[in-house]
Amino acid sequence: MRETAALGGTVEQAVDAIKAKNGIVGREKELRLALLCSMAGRHTLIEGPVGVGKTVLATAIADYLNRPIFRVDGDERYTEQKLTGWFDPPIVMKKGYTMDAFISGPLASAMDTGGILFINELNRLNEGVQNVLLPAMDEGKIEVPRIGTMMAKEGFLIIATQNPREFVATSSLSEALSDRFELLPLTYQSEEEERLIVETRARIKEQRVIRAVTSIVRETRVHPSIRRGASIRAATGMALLLSRMGTSFAAFREAAYMSIPTRVELREDAKKSVYDVIDEILEKVLTDIPIEQPAPVRAESNAEPPEKKAEEKKTIRK
C-alpha cells in the first residue's frame, strides 16, 4: 500500500510527488504532516484564512491516498439528511424502507467504501449537521432510520477545512467535534513562494510585474486601515489583468481597483474608503522600476511639437 511505502522512508518522495502532480508551491512541512496524519488513521482539520491553499492541500492528500473521495461544501442550509442519505419515495412505494430504496449521502458513501469525506468550510455547517459526524468519527458508525447501524469500512477518514472563526458566516465548532480532529494550521506563505505562485498561475515571466503585484497584496495584510488583507488570488488576478492592460501606473490602479476591494475587509474605525487605501498602497509600492505610459493619441491636425510628446514615466520598486 502507499501508506506502508511512505512510512518505510519515502514520505519526502510522496510529498514531492503530490507537489508535482498538483502544482503546489512550497508547503513541504504541511503536506508531510497531513500525509502522516492520514496514514495514522486520524481525521484532519486544516484551518487558515481565505486563499492559502487549504482546499488544494486537502484534495491533494485525499487523491494521493487513492481512496474514493466524497465532497461536502459547507453551507448553513445543508441538512443531516443530505449528509447521511435519504429514501427514494417511488422505490419505497414498491419495496418499502429497504437498502434498495436508500440513497447514500456523502458520509454514508465514504463509510461504506472506506473512502475519504472531504468537508470544505466545516464551520459553515449548522450544529445539527456537525453532530452527525461525532459517532462516525468516534465509533465508526452511524444510525440510519429504518435501516439500522451502518459501520465504516477500514480506511474511512474525514479531511476538513475551515476559515478562522472571525470570518463572516462562520461559527465555532463544538468542543466535542474539535476533540476528534488533529489540527493543521495554514498561514500566508513567504514572499518568494507567493511570487512563484503568481508566476505559475498567471503564466507570466515579467518579474517586475510579479514583484509589484505580490508586494501590493502583501501590503494589504499590514495596512492599519485593513482588518483582513487579500490573498494571493488578488495578486494573480492583477497579474492577469495587467497582461491585457499594460503596465502603466494607471493600469496598475485599474487592476488593483478590480482585484482588491472584494478580497479585503476594512476596520470598523477606518476613516478612508477602500479605494483611498489602495491608492496609498500603490503610491508606496510603485516607486522604483521604470514603467512607461504612452502619450495620448492625437489627431494629426492637432499634433503638438515633438518636445511636448514625451512619454510620462512612472516607476515601481524593484
Please check whether residues 118 and 63 belong to one and the same domain. Answer: yes
Q: Are 46 and 34 in contact (CB under 8 A)?
A: yes
Please check whether residues 153 and 54 belong to one and the same domain. Answer: yes
pLDDT at 147: 81
Give the pLDDT band of residue 289 (cuts 50, 70, 90): low
Q: Are 114 and 160 in contact (CB under 8 A)?
A: no
Look at the chain and report how many structural domains it folds into.
2
User: 78-83, long-range: CB within 8 Å, 24+ apart, which pairs?
Assistant: 78/125, 78/126, 78/129, 79/129, 80/128, 80/129, 80/132, 81/105, 83/107, 83/129, 83/132
CATH of the domain at 221: 1.10.8
Residue 15 has which C-alpha cell?
A: 510529498
CA dist 198 and 257 (Å) reads: 18
* In a domain? residue 42: yes
Q: Are 187 and 52 in contact (CB under 8 A)?
A: yes
pLDDT at 308: 46
Domain that holds residue 63: 2-185
Please check whether residues 97 and 17 belong to one and the same domain. Answer: yes
244 or 95: which carries more pLDDT confidence? 244
Please check whether residues 168 and 277 belong to one and the same domain. Answer: no
Burial class (CB in 10 A: 0-12, 13-18, 19+), 170: middle
Please check whether residues 149 and 215 belong to one and the same domain. Answer: no
Please check whether residues 81 and 195 belong to one and the same domain. Answer: no
Neighbour tally for 74: CB within 10 Å: 21
96 sits in the region (left: phi over 0; alpha: psi -120 to 50; else beta) called left
* In a domain? residue 214: yes
Looking at the predicted structure, is the pLDDT value of residue 303 above 70? no
pLDDT at 24: 92
pLDDT at 38: 92
pLDDT, one tens digit per residue, over 124-153 is 888 888 889 999 998 999 888 888 888 999
pLDDT, one tens digit per residue, over 219-263 is 999 999 999 999 999 999 999 999 999 989 999 999 999 999 999
In angstroms, how far is CA 255 from the centroid of its own chain?
22
* In a domain? residue 304: no
Please check whether residues 51 and 132 belong to one and the same domain. Answer: yes
Looking at the predicted structure, is the pLDDT value of residue 313 above 60? no
Please check whether residues 197 and 166 belong to one and the same domain. Answer: no
Give the pLDDT band of residue 170 (cuts 50, 70, 90): low
pLDDT at 164: 81
pLDDT at 290: 53
Q: Which of 44-53, 161-170, 230-239, 280-289 has the least mean pLDDT?
A: 161-170
Please check whether residues 108 and 127 belong to one and the same domain. Answer: yes
Q: Which of 126, 160, 185 is the last residue of a domain?
A: 185
CA atoms in the 13 A half-sphere facing the CB of 251: 23
CATH of the domain at 87: 3.40.50.300
Beta pairing class for 69-73 and 182-185: unpaired
Please check whether residues 179 and 201 belong to one and the same domain. Answer: no
pTM of the shown model: 0.79
pLDDT, one tens digit per residue, over 67-93 is 899 999 988 888 888 998 888 888 888
What is the per-residue DSSP string for 79-121?
A: -HHHHHEEE-HHHHHHH-SSGGGEEE-HHHHHHHHT-EEEEET
Please check whether residues 157 and 197 belong to one and the same domain. Answer: no
Q: Are 273 and 290 in contact (CB under 8 A)?
A: no
State what percent of residues in the chain have pLDDT above 70.
85
Looking at the predicted structure, is the pLDDT value of residue 293 above 60? no
